[in-house]
Structure 1
Amino acid sequence: EIDTLLSDLNSAAILSATGAHWEEDNYDWWAMNTDTRSTAIILDTLARLDPENALIPNVVRWLMIARQGGIWETTQETAWAVMALTDWMTVSGELEPDYAYNVTFNDDTILQGDATPATVRERSELQIDVSEMLQDEANNLVFTRTGSNEGMMYYTAYVELYLPVPEIEAIDNGIIVDRRYTLEDGETVITEAQVGEVVQVRLTVIVPNSLHYVVITDPLPAGAEGIDPNLQTSEQIGTRPGLDNDNPLRYGWGWWYFGEIEFRDEAVNLYADYLPAGTYEYVYTIRPSVEGVYNVIPPTAQEFYFPDVYGRGAGSTFTVLPAEE
């Protein structure tokens, strides 16, 4: 029966490359259950019954990121998280590492050292430029450790690739993001506008599973600037829209989850500490000011601490025409 239970837990886990957690189908507020508390309870179960489970390190990562301002949201979450993490550190020797590590790239050593209780909180970061990579053949990044089995070794590798805007296609790695330019009616999609004309931008974000610390960036066309329709002037950095009682959906649906919204010269940035699963829309306006045909960098959305959970729209062009005389 225990093996069946563990198998069911493994199957129900929601995974990304660097995080794993479980979500409740239905919330029982009387029992004070939350996704974070349930994840902590399952972590404690795995630490006791299946300490070699490959999910555990990623569950620990997710549980640490689930804190808001350095703490979990409820006393239930805090109690279970502390118990689970304590049990995990006991069986893993997390704070008592004793091993040597080595990192090679195409057989060349690029990092090495010793993990000990004195260095357990240290971290290293490396960057490899494209010019250092082999062309038209596989590049090998290898992490090895020697010595005792005490303590865990955590590592993450990311690849950043920059493409010409017309070649950029939409990507869905756990978040879907899409942008449309429309007339002020919000329905008529456009790819061009005249200098001085007001253009509505509709940014849609679909989140299949709840996420923490989400950052959304929507670059502006080079020939346009973001505006505040109320003030008819540029929005101030760090402000967020207020509720319009006459038109509560003026800024779209779910914008209130974004604790900070920044209008910058080159982009609009939205930040959310927590986004439950669902569809969100943020609506704002821009005003074209310089004639030309512009490549528009696609919008992106990602979890700040788990950047592999990532979404990107497609690249596009936007034309700014001369103003009517």
Structure 2
Amino acid sequence: NKLIDELAEGLRKQRLSGGQWRSTQDNMYALVALSDYARAQKNGVTEIAVGGALTRNRVLRGGEVLFEEFDGSKIRQPLTIQARGRARYAVRVREAKRGGLDQIVNNGLSVTREYLTADGKKLESIKAGQLVKVRLTVAPGKERRWLALADPLPAGFEAVNTRLASSASTVRTGRSWSWTHVEMRDDQVLAFADRVWRGRPMVLEYLARATIAGKFKALPAHAETMYAPEINGRTAQSMVTIR
């Protein structure tokens, strides 16, 4: 039935720019439907060539998936992929950015981190036993979906557990629609949001206690969109001194 092909194509076209549908539930049902559709298809042919030289010619049966990996540093000529029949293909590029953790990264998301006094003032020094307010700000270049933020804790810090009655209200999210879930672990604080808007920075504040005197490395806070991790950003790493 030709309508089946049209429905499958329409389902693919409903994907958002990040390659996903509008919710995790939509993703699940769409992928189940497209998987069933793929298994019912006839054979297709995929050809992969680098610089005009054929490296792979493969007949794919219905529902079969072929993965091919290339070392980008060794590809000096154009990579060409052709699909005939029912075969379809996608390409994902993974790259390591130049520079180490001392550099700020902004690939569609701007991330900043501040260490403040418990009442939000500029922090001059940190003493063992002191409460420190950590303020994280994520500013998207445009509207994004399914944002995840991770802030590693320096070894000398311990996040205050907001689920304990004695430490309630120690996490502030600015507005009620900001973060849909916040999770505090021994080594990091995680936060998630279903949607973020351009011009509306997301702010997360939590309290941490300086527990041990010493000099500790604060690894970068990192944010990314869960279904399109190439959209990301991070702070630079820094040093935290507890006296």
1:217, distance to aligned residue in structure 2 (A)? 0.7
- Name which of 122, 126, 137 aligns with 1:188: 122
Rate the CA distance shift 1:119–1:145 in 2: closer, same or farther, 3 A. farther
Distance 2:129 2:103 in 1: 30
2:135 matched to 1:199? no
- In the TM superposition, what is the alpha-carbon distance from 1:270 to its structure 2 partner? 0.9
Unaligned runs of 5+ in 2: 1-5, 35-40
Q: 1:221 aligns with which of 154, 172, 175?
A: 154
Quote the Cα distance in structure 2 between the aligned partners of 1:281 and 1:67: 24
Give unmatched runs, 5+ long, in structure 1: 1-43, 49-56, 73-80, 87-94, 236-240
Deviations 1:40-87 (A, max 9, x none): xxxx9xx99xxxxxxxx8974537513213228xxxxxxxx9xxxx9x
Please report how far the alpha carbon of residue 229 of structure 1 lies from its aligned counterpart in structure 2 after TM superposition. 6.1
Name the % identity: 21
Is the CA contact (8 Å cut-off) linking 2:108 and 2:232 kept in structure 1? yes
Taking structure 1 as reference, are residues 96 and 156 closer, same or farther at Cα in structure 2, changes over 3 Å only?
A: farther
Structure 1 or 2: more strand by fraction: 2
Residue 193 of structure 2 corresponds to 272
Amino acid at match of 2:90: Y
Q: Distance in 2 between matches of 1:150 and 1:184?
A: 60
What SS does structure 2 have at the residue aligned with 1:62? coil
In the TM superposition, residue 312 of structure 1 has moved relative to its aligned partner by: 1.1
Of 178-187 and 144-153, deviating more is 144-153
The CA deviation at 1:140 is 4.2
Q: 1:228 Cα deviation (Å)? A: 3.1
Pairing 1:25-40 to 2, within 5 Å after superposition:
none
* Alignment partner of 1:102 is 2:48: yes
CA distance in 2, matches of 1:232, 1:60: 43
Say if 2:238 is the partner of 1:320: no
Q: 1:288-303 maps to which residues of 2 (within 5 A)? A: 288-303=210-225
Match 1:251 to one of 164, 172, 186: 172
Distance 1:250 1:63 in 2: 30
The question of whether the paired residues in 2 share the 8 Å contact of 1:103 and 1:141 is answered with no
Aligned-pair RMSD on alpha carbons? Answer: 3.9
Please say if 1:71 is aligned against 2:17.
no
Q: Residue 162 of structure 2 contacts residue 171 of structure 2 at CA under 8 Å; is this kept in 1?
A: no
Taking a change above 3 Å as real, the CA distance of residues 227 and 117 of structure 1, as seen in their structure-2 partners, is same
Q: In the comparison of the two structures, how many residue pairs are matched?
A: 222
Contact 1:101 1:143 in 2 (8 A): no
TM-score, normalised to structure 1, is 0.56
Question: Residue type matched to 2:152 in 1?
Answer: P
Give a deviation string over 1:198-234, Cα, whole Å, max 9, x none. 000011111232212211111111111111368487x
Q: CA deviation at 1:290?
A: 1.8
Equivalent in the alignment of 2:93: 157
